[in-house]
Structure 1
């Protein structure tokens, strides 16, 4: 991949900026397409790292064609990722996750892009019985899950019909340093704790998720770029179930050691459209990609908490220094 160019849609976001740095370090030329709606780093920081930044929205076909011109690969991370928002405004969810993915796939086809990696989600599983594998019967519970499944289907069609080497990665719950703008469980809980506000657990806290550290996800994406056969789908997670209560317990331990007092913890009602239990069977990714996540949850949460304390807290939610 050295000296070749890769387009990262949504490249200024949490996952995009984490992927960008090692690619650039390995001599890969990086182009970013981002609409600046939820960036983790500003464009000038990405440009300072050596990336080319195009400001545009994936729902704009012309922006996608411009961004895809001359690149060898596309990592498609840009998306509407909030379940609740997809329920409130399903049309916008479809426009971004459905039409946006189709725009990039068509740009990839017409521009001769060699490989295309889609960031999908375990939300496509819905009521499937965990551990969730690639062969699970899919039944999404939200418009977000529906549009991610639609995006996967488009990828499969473009692989079979047009020969684009697509691969869909069903991400689990991703966390780590740099996630200051994410609305996910770990990032939200850490921000609330550091601001002296109660950490609110939806429901009883016994619901399960699969939490994967950002460095392990970046490794999975790079393996998929290099090794994945065309048209395949892979579940990408830590491969183990963790309750929300366990996450809160780990964070309370870390916070108490830092603050000298326990976190404030409250419980709220279950969240509409949420999956009760969801974790991944990652055996296929291990077998075909060589994917093997190895960061223990407690260690990963300590590193994430440390980043928030050192980089985010001093600026009170403005741009962290990274």
Structure 2
């Protein structure tokens, strides 16, 4: 029996991975204690997604409601499945800049200590497993804001002559910049995952994501930009733009494309702690103002938003991922959702009835 273990299995990336690997015939062991509701309140709850998975997948999905900060609980699960675990996808996290400031101990406990607990459990119970970590572009801190940017009508854009004109590569320094406490805890986890790959020669990888999006996310104001924006567009909920005149740019990748990248690594893993930037790149990126305009076109409704000139500390003014390294290592990988319009339309079509009723 081949086991895929997924932390945060009821979240956006976790649930997409759960469906994918169960569909391939794997038994999926899900670890998720719905802590997203603790972070963001009822609208952040992932219970609906867990129930959907359990109803749809039946015996192919085995759920464990445990906290990754508790090593003894994790070890019990790892001991149960042992060397049958061939893949660990770690997506569980505290994902918000703003929330981290409220409770740094919980933020670091979940993001850093929880990751260490998983790596140690793998080392003792299934050292030949592939370990995939959903990291973040926030490990680069606010260093992207030092790039030479040009102000256009609806967005900021990088100088076309700059080294990173095709996107920010893994060569960008992670040092001597402001990360936010969230960015610091994720960076600690990122370095740990690399170190277990290098020191123990394990098959570990960090995917430093841009905006990961899709229809199954429980988007909230503090996390899940694209999903939450479309939710506000459908329901008429007021939305706040924070800083940069709404011209800040993000690259957006669909959750199914994230999972196909994970699977490419799993089927041809590399030892030694690989790192890849993962995002929509030059094919799929958008500013806040542009995303609002697209959402208005899709919903046929005027978007209700206000502007605050106070940017979030450590926030990126322009971030587009350079995927060249990953594409060179895995040339068979293709991005199916290669335009932001496709992603927003998918979120709208799959959620319009549920959201219009729920709110």
TM over 0.5: yes
Larger displacement relative to structure 2 (122-131 or 34-43): 34-43
Quote the residue 1:320 is aligned against: none
1:250 matched to 2:303? The reply is: no
- In structure 2, the CA distance between the partners of 1:214 and 1:145, relative to structure 1 (3 Å rule), is same
Quote the residue 1:235 is aligned against: 277
CA–CA distance in structure 2, aligned partners of residues 251 and 40 of structure 1: 27
CA–CA distance in structure 2, aligned partners of residues 44 and 309 of structure 1: 20
CA–CA distance in structure 1, aligned partners of residues 242 and 117 of structure 2: 36
Quote the residue 2:350 is aligned against: 307
1:162, distance to aligned residue in structure 2 (A): 2.0
1:197, distance to aligned residue in structure 2 (A): 2.4
1:264 matched to 2:272? The reply is: no
- Residues 237, 279 of structure 1: 8 Å contact kept: yes
Quote the residue 2:135 is aligned against: 120
- Residues 108, 164 of structure 1: 8 Å contact kept: no
- Residues 207, 244 of structure 1: 8 Å contact kept: yes
5 Å-filtered alignment, 1:198-209, equals: 198-203=238-243, 204-209=245-250
CA–CA distance in structure 2, aligned partners of residues 237 and 181 of structure 1: 18
CA–CA distance in structure 1, aligned partners of residues 198 and 266 of structure 2: 18
1:122, distance to aligned residue in structure 2 (A): 0.4
Quote the residue 1:282 is aligned against: 323
Quote the residue 1:65 is aligned against: 75
Larger displacement relative to structure 2 (40-49 or 19-28): 40-49
Quote the residue 1:172 is aligned against: 210
- Deviating above 6 A after TM superposition, structure 1's stretches of 4 or more consecutive aligned residues are none
Quote the residue 1:47 is aligned against: 54
Any idea what SS the aligned residue of 2:34 has? coil
Larger displacement relative to structure 2 (97-106 or 297-306): 297-306
Larger displacement relative to structure 2 (3-12 or 64-73): 64-73
Q: Deviation digits for residues 179-233 of structure 1, max 9, x if unmatched? A: 1345321122122222222332222111111111121111112112222312100
CA–CA distance in structure 2, aligned partners of residues 252 and 43 of structure 1: 31
1:140, distance to aligned residue in structure 2 (A): 4.5
5 Å-filtered alignment, 1:175-190, equals: 175-182=213-220, 183-190=223-230
CA–CA distance in structure 1, aligned partners of residues 132 and 48 of structure 2: 22
